[in-house]
Amino acid sequence: MLSMNDMAYLGLALCAAYTAALLAGPWMIGGRSYTVAALCVILLMCCPFLVQAKLVIVRALAAFFCTELCFKISDYARQHRHAVAGEARFLDFCRFLIPFPPLAVVFGSVERSPQHARPRRAMKLILIGILGTTIGLTGFYQAGGSSLLRDHFAIDHVTKVLLFVTTIESLAATFFGLELVCGFSASRPMRFMIVSRTVAEFWWQYNVRVNQWFYLNAFEPIGGRRFVVRGVFWTFFVSAVLHGWMFAITHRRLSVLLFHVTGSGCASFTVDRTIREARRIDQQARGACIDGRLADRYLHPLLSRLQPSLSVLLHQRTVAAINLFDEPTIQFG
């Protein structure tokens, strides 16, 4: 549990962060959205330093709330700059900064109305979430003293991944139930990660609301689907800087930031090669399909007069090739 001293440091960091965010609101509404947002984000990323370095958990909590504010400030600046936010009002901006619903970091993505309230479904989600969270935290506590897990890395890793997914999903269900009770209409924070079939699908279902922010504020502005490689690289880089910086100031290790940034470059390089290979296969498929249709239309009638058996064989193979390449292929932009 947090002591009064811990709560005081956390309150100091959060007061500084929310004061900076609130002061930035009128300036962004006044027209200097990007400049003010950039300065505000820099201040927010430094606010966790107000917590003593030895209070790791308190710094981590402060870093979480400051990161959420960074997301919100930058998204509001983007929408206001492109006139997406409509008539900007300071009251709406203040409501947007409230950390509930958690991680709802895209302005206008959450609405509140009594008609959205679903008490029965909400109570089920809250009860299931509390039960799952209790099981997950108890499992983590018991796993810490297990000699079997300490001696077998694979078993330890699988067990803790399952406990992590269970705990995070349960917490998300609890908060989503509370949101339904309060009448908020928002997407689920997590979308059943446990049933993901691939690693990519797992991370897409994980933290859905923040994924939406990365798509709108990192992937789309740099080119989106027109320049997929550039967009993917920039998305990885922004994510690495945010995660790496907050982990670095929490654990007082700059190597964590360097690790995240380097990892983002390696991951982007892998994605770049995958996308280029997929494009090459897609172009070959389209070319072979076009060549096959041209041969079936012009070459086969000529061969049917000279050598009927050869024409029939070529026609059958051409139809088979066209059917093969007519399967859905990867589309880019």
Ordered DSSP codes for 178-228: HHHHTTEE---SS--GGG-SSHHHHHHHTTHHHHHHHIIIIITTTTGGGSH
* Token reading at 16: 């500084």
Specify if 209 maps to a domain: no
Q: Is 70 exceeded by the pLDDT of residue 177?
A: yes
For residues 12 and 94, state if they share a domain: yes
Report the pLDDT value the prediction gives residue 115, as an integer from 0 to 100: 63
Identity of the residue numbered 151: D
Q: Are 251 and 56 in contact (CB under 8 A)?
A: yes
Report the pLDDT value the prediction gives residue 316, as an integer from 0 to 100: 52
**Least confident segment among 15-19, 37-41, 84-88, 103-107:** 84-88
**CA 239 → CA 174, 295, 318, distances in Å?**
26, 50, 47
pTM of the model: 0.70
For residues 120 and 101, state if they share a domain: no
Q: Is 70 exceeded by the pLDDT of residue 15?
A: yes
Q: Is 60 exceeded by the pLDDT of residue 307?
A: no
Specify if 201 maps to a domain: no
For residues 245 and 332, state if they share a domain: yes
Specify if 136 maps to a domain: yes
pLDDT bracket for residue 84 (50, 70, 90)? low
pLDDT bracket for residue 299 (50, 70, 90)? very low
Report the pLDDT value the prediction gives residue 107, as an integer from 0 to 100: 85
pLDDT bracket for residue 78 (50, 70, 90)? confident
For residues 61 and 159, state if they share a domain: no
For residues 159 and 131, state if they share a domain: yes
Q: Is 60 exceeded by the pLDDT of residue 100?
A: yes
Q: Each residue of 33-48: pLDDT tens digit?
A: 778 888 999 999 888 8
**Least confident segment among 113-122, 217-226, 249-258, 303-312:** 303-312
* Token reading at 121: 């479904």
For residues 99 and 116, state if they share a domain: no
For residues 230 and 332, state if they share a domain: yes
The rounded distance, in Å, linking the Cα atoms of 133 and 22 is 34
In this prediction, residues 148-157 reach a mean pLDDT of 81
Report the pLDDT value the prediction gives residue 12, as an integer from 0 to 100: 92
For residues 27 and 87, state if they share a domain: yes
Q: Are 207 and 189 in contact (CB under 8 A)?
A: yes
**Which of 99-108, 179-188, 195-204 tops mean pLDDT?**
99-108
pLDDT bracket for residue 18 (50, 70, 90)? very high
Domain end, chosen from 58, 80, 107, is at 107
Q: Each residue of 195-238: pLDDT tens digit?
A: 777 776 777 788 888 888 888 888 888 877 777 777 777 887 88
End-to-end alpha-carbon separation of the chain, Å?
51
**Domain residue limits at 60:** 1-107
DSSP letters, 97-156, are HS--STT--STTS-EE-GGG--HHHHHHHHHHHHHHHHHHHHHHHHHTT-HHHHH-HHHH
Place of tokens 């979308």: 191
Q: How many domains does the chain have?
A: 3
Q: Is 50 exceeded by the pLDDT of residue 333?
A: no
Specify if 215 maps to a domain: no
pLDDT bracket for residue 258 (50, 70, 90)? low
Domain end, chosen from 65, 88, 107, is at 107
Place of tokens 């600046």: 77
Element (H, E) at 94: helix 90-97
The rounded distance, in Å, linking the Cα atoms of 190 and 173 is 8
Q: Each residue of 123-132: pLDDT tens digit?
A: 888 998 899 8
Report the chain's mean pLDDT, rounded to a whole number: 74
* Token reading at 125: 């989600």
Domain end, chosen from 107, 123, 146, is at 107
Specify if 210 maps to a domain: no
Specify if 217 maps to a domain: no
For residues 78 and 118, state if they share a domain: no
Report the pLDDT value the prediction gives residue 21, as an integer from 0 to 100: 92
For residues 85 and 121, state if they share a domain: no
Specify if 321 maps to a domain: yes
Q: Are 77 and 106 in contact (CB under 8 A)?
A: no
For residues 83 and 129, state if they share a domain: no
**Omega prior to 48 cis, within 30 of 0:** no
pLDDT bracket for residue 69 (50, 70, 90)? very high
DSSP assigned state of 296? I
Please name every residue paired with 185 in a beta bridge, in sequence order, or none if there are none. Answer: 111
For residues 139 and 96, state if they share a domain: no
55 vs 82: which has the higher pLDDT = 55
Report the pLDDT value the prediction gives residue 183, as an integer from 0 to 100: 80
Specify if 31 maps to a domain: yes
Q: Are 181 and 121 in contact (CB under 8 A)?
A: no
